[in-house]
Amino acid sequence: MSVVSQEQYVAIGIGTEKYAIRIHDIEEIIRMQDITKIPNVQAHIKGVINLRGRIIPVVSLRHRFGLNEDEYTKDTRIVVVKYADEMIGIVVDSVSQVTMFSEIQQPPETLGDSKGSFFSGIGKVDDELVSILNLDKVLQQ
């Protein structure tokens, strides 16, 4: 079953893979900055940043996906999203564009393990497939 969506998404990159976050969920996108480490938190939580006086936790999407951490580059960004009435930063390797999908399909059932639940769907742009992130699953402890 496919669904046509007029919703806009922001395409992000982790390594060579492309993912998308609903633009409605994004508060802002900022350049990488120093992250203050916090002891005794889950491994995927990098620490906190001070964003104009607000303390925001920052999560590593690479770590969450079981990938090795990579050196930050000039393209590394923190995508600040609204989640459960809080702001949370997500470190991504790059942010490429705002996009809309011509078609969105449910992820295959075989991806229903812990990794598959991170995705709410697979979007298609031209001939490229982009996994749409399910922020509830990615950000829940």
CATH number for position 72 = 2.40.50.180
Q: What angle do CA 33, 11, 66 make, to 5 degrees?
A: 65
**Measured CA distances, 55 to 18, 48, 64, 86, 118 (Å):** 28, 6, 21, 10, 25
In order along its 141 residues, the chain shows pLDDT tens digits of 555 557 899 999 998 899 999 999 999 999 999 999 999 998 899 999 999 999 999 999 999 888 988 899 999 999 999 998 899 999 999 999 999 987 888 887 665 555 557 899 999 887 888 999 999 889 986
Number of domains present in the structure of the chain:
1
Q: What single letter denotes the amino acid at residue 48?
A: V
Of 33, 6, 12, nearest in space to 138 by CA: 12
Q: Residue 115 phi/psi, 5° resolution? A: -70, -45
**This prediction's pTM:** 0.88
The tokens of 100 are what? 């809309």
Q: What angle do CA 70, 30, 61 make, to 5 degrees?
A: 40
CB 47 within 8 A of CB 60: no
Domain span at residue 17 reads 2-139
Give the pLDDT score at 116: 53
Give the pLDDT score at 61: 93
Give the pLDDT score at 102: 78
